[in-house]
Chain A
C-alpha cells in the first residue's frame, strides 16, 4: 500500500519535473523566431551593403604557372576530395569568356596584391580587372601614373563633357585590350585606397545603386526605375483606395442599419484581407485587362489594334488591382477608428443641431483621421511588398519608357512599369548570370524590406499614439 502510493508520488514528481521543461520549449520558440528574424535582417544588411565596399584585388599565380587577377568571393569544400576550392570574380568576360573562376586552394602558389591593379566598370562587358597602360586622346598620350591620374580626372567630369579617347589595358597574363573611354562608367584602384577613400567609394556605390538604371542584364547599375515605378504605382493606388475605403467604412459604421446583414458584410470584408493576393491578380487580369482594357482598345484605339494599348497589363490596371487588394485593410482600420469614437460625441453634435453630414465632417472624421492614416499606411506597406498579382497585371522586366515623361499626357497609365519586388524575383531567378546578380539582389531585397518595415513601424507608432490619445480623453 505504502510502496504503491510512494511509486505514484515519485511518478508524479518525475512527471512534474518534465512538465517544468515545457515553458522552456515555449520560451525557446520565441527566441527561435527572434533569431530567424534577426538572422534574415543581418544577412540582408551585411550582404546588401557589403557589396558596395571596394574589394581588395589579388593577383593569383597557380602551380601550373597561370596567373589571373580577381577578388575572392567564397570557399567551399571540394566535392569527393580533401581540401577546399575558392571562387574568384575575375571579370574580363570579353577576353576570357567567363567572369568567375573556381580554383582549388592547393593549386595556388602565390597571392599578391599589387597596387596598380585596377577595376573598370564598362557598359557592354561588365568589369575589367587588370593594369592600365596608357590613355590616348587625339594625339595626346599619358602612360604610367599619369594615365591613372588623367583617367580619374576624366571620370570626375560629367559624361557629356568627356572627350573621346581610348584606354590601353592589359590583363595580368599579358593580353591587351583597347577600351573606348565613352563606355567606361567608373574606375577604382582598391589596393591603394585608404579606409576613408573606401568609405567614400562605398557611399558613391550606394548612391549609384539608388539613382541609376540597371545595366548588363541586371547584374550592374541600380534600381532607380524600379523604385520610381513602385512609388508611382503605390501613390496611384492610395489615391484610389483611400476615398473608397473610407466611404465604405463610413457607410458600414455610421449609415447602414446595424443588423445581421451588416454584421455578415463586415465579416466578409474582414475575410477578404485573407484571400490570397494571386486571386486578386486573376480578377485584375480577367476584368480590368481583358474586360475593360479590351473594350477601351476597341472603342478608342482601334487603329493600333492587333497590338493592345490598354488591353495588356499596365500601370493603371496594377494600381486598380492593388487598390482592390488593400481595400479591406483600409476599411477595417477606419472602422476601428470610427468605432472607438464615443457615441456621446455624435449625440452631442446632433443635439446641437448638426445634420449628419456636419456631424461626420466636423466631429467624427477629424477624430478618426489618424486611424484612416494608419489604414492607408498599412495598405501602402502591403502593396509595396506584393508581387504575385503584379506578375499578371503589368510589371515588366525592363520597361523601355518611364511611365512619366515630357510627352503629352505626361502620365502614361497604359505603360508597363518596373517594380522592386518583381525586379528582385526576375534578377534572382531569370538572370543570365545569377552569380553576378546576387549581390545586387541582396541590395534590392534590403531596400524593399527597409521600405516596408519603415512603413509598418510608422503605422504602429501612429496606432500607439492614437490609443494613448484616446486613453487621455476617456
Chain B
C-alpha cells in the first residue's frame, strides 16, 4: 500500500507545528524542572533573615528538635533494618520463586498504608497497650527472634517427610502461624515472668531502681510504628540489589567449597553491599521526614533525653504543629522554615548518595555480566 501523498502546501505547516510543539514541550519541561528547583530557592531565601538575628536563638530552638528527629529515626531504623534486611535476604536468596512473586508485592503494599493510619494505631491503640503490658512487650521483642531460631532447630531435628512438607523455601509463609502461636505463649507467660523476676510491676521497678520515667507515647512506640512504615522501602531496594547479584558469583563460591550460607554471607552480601547501603540510606531519609507517625505517636515533648521510654518532638512534627499558627515574617516562621530547609537538604543529599551508589553498583553488575 502506498502512503497517501501529502500536498506540498501542508508541508511548511507541519514543520511549523512541529517547531511550536517542540518549543512548548521544552518550555513546559524546563518550567516544571524550574518549579521543582524553586522549592530549594524558596527555603534558602526565607531562612536567610535568620542570619541577621544571630544563631544562638536558632540553635536553642532547633537543637532539641534535631535531637528528637535523630532519636525517632534511630529508633525506627533499629527496628526496621534487621527485619527489612532479613526479609530481603530471605526473599531474594531462599524463597521459592512462585512465592516470591506473591510476597514481594504484598510487602511493598505496606508502604501504601497511610502514615495517619499507622500513627493512629500506634498512638491510640499500641501505646496504651504497651503501657499496661510493658513486660509483655519487652518479652515479645526478645522472644520472637529466639522462637525463629527454635523453629530452625526443631526443623533440623524433624523427620525428612515433615521437612519436605514444610520446606525452607516456603518458611516465610508457614512461619506466620508459628509466630502467632509464639506470641500467644509469650503473652500468656509474661505476667508470670513479671511476677517471678521483676517484682510484679516493671514500670514501678524502672522508676524506683533506675529512675526511668515512662511516657505513654515514647521512642519505642515511634520506633515500632515508623519501623513498620520504613521496612517496605528498605526491603524493596535491598531485595532488588540482592536478587541482581549474578548467579555465577554464588555458584563459583559454592564450587570452591563454601557452604550455602557462607556463599551468601561472604559473596552475595559483599557484592550487594552498596545496594543494601543505599536502601538503608533511603530508609533513613524516609524516617527523618515522616511527619504524621511521629506527630501522633511521640507525645511531642521537646526533650533532650536518650531514654527509649520518653517522648520527643521531631522537626517535621514541629513544623506541622507550629507553622500554621506562626505569623508570616516572624521569628518562629523563619526558624521553622530553616527546619524545613535542613530536612530538605538532608533527605536530598542522602537520596542522591543512595542513587549514585546504586547506579555505580548497577554498572558493576553489568560488567560482571550478570544483567542482560
Question: What is the interface of chain A, defined by CB distance below 8 A to chain B?
Answer: 16, 19-38, 40, 43-44, 76, 243-245, 247-248, 250-252, 254-256, 265, 267-272, 274-283, 285-287, 290, 313, 324, 327-328, 331, 352-353, 355-358, 360, 381, 384-388, 391-392, 421-422, 424-425, 428-429, 434, 438, 441, 445, 448-449, 452-453, 456-457, 460
Contacts and interface: CB of A to CB of B under 8 A. Distances in A.
Interface in B9-29: 14-15, 17-18, 21-22, 25-26, 28-29
A46 to B, nearest CB: 12
Contact of B114 (A254, A353, A356, A452): A452
B87 to A, nearest CB: 4
B347 A276 contact: yes
8 contacts: A33-B107, A33-B235, A34-B103, A37-B110, A244-B28, A278-B343, A282-B43, A357-B21
Given A387-B114, A388-B291, A281 B42 contact: no
B179 A276 contact: no
A19 B258 CA distance: 12
Contacts of A449: 113-114, 117
A81 B47 CA distance: 56
A25 B89 CA distance: 10
B338 to A, nearest CB: 10
**Interface magnitude class on chain B:** 35 or more
B105 interface: yes
Given A28-B175, A256-B29, A271 B352 contact: yes
Contact of B3 (A16, A21, A38, A352): A352
A32 B83 contact: yes
A434 B343 contact: no
B85 to A, nearest CB: 8
The 4 closest A-B pairs by CB, nearest first: A251-B29, A276-B289, A385-B114, A28-B148
A438 B124 contact: yes
Interface string B25-46: 1101111110110110011001
Contacts of A30: 86-87, 90-91, 95, 103, 107, 171-172, 175
Contacts, number: 316
Contact of A448 (B39, B114, B337): B114
Given A355-B15, A356-B22, A252 B149 contact: no
B145 interface: yes
Interface of B: 3, 14-15, 17-18, 21-22, 25-26, 28-33, 35-36, 38-39, 42-43, 46, 82-87, 89-91, 94-95, 103, 105-107, 109-110, 112-121, 123-125, 132, 144-145, 147-149, 151-153, 155-156, 168, 171-173, 175-176, 178-180, 228, 231, 235, 259, 261-262, 265, 282, 285-286, 288-292, 295-296, 316, 319-320, 323-324, 328, 336-337, 340, 343-344, 347-348, 350-352, 355-356
A244 B33 CA distance: 10
Contacts of A26: 86-87, 89-90, 94
Contact of A251 (B26, B152, B282): B26
Nearest to A36: B228
A392 B36 contact: no
Contact of A282 (B119, B125, B153, B336): B336
A424 B36 CA distance: 30
A22 B269 CA distance: 14
Which of B85, B110, B116, B295 has the largest number of chain A CB atoms within 10 A? Answer: B116
Contacts of A245: 32
A248 B148 contact: no
Contacts of A424: 116-117, 120
B168 A286 contact: no
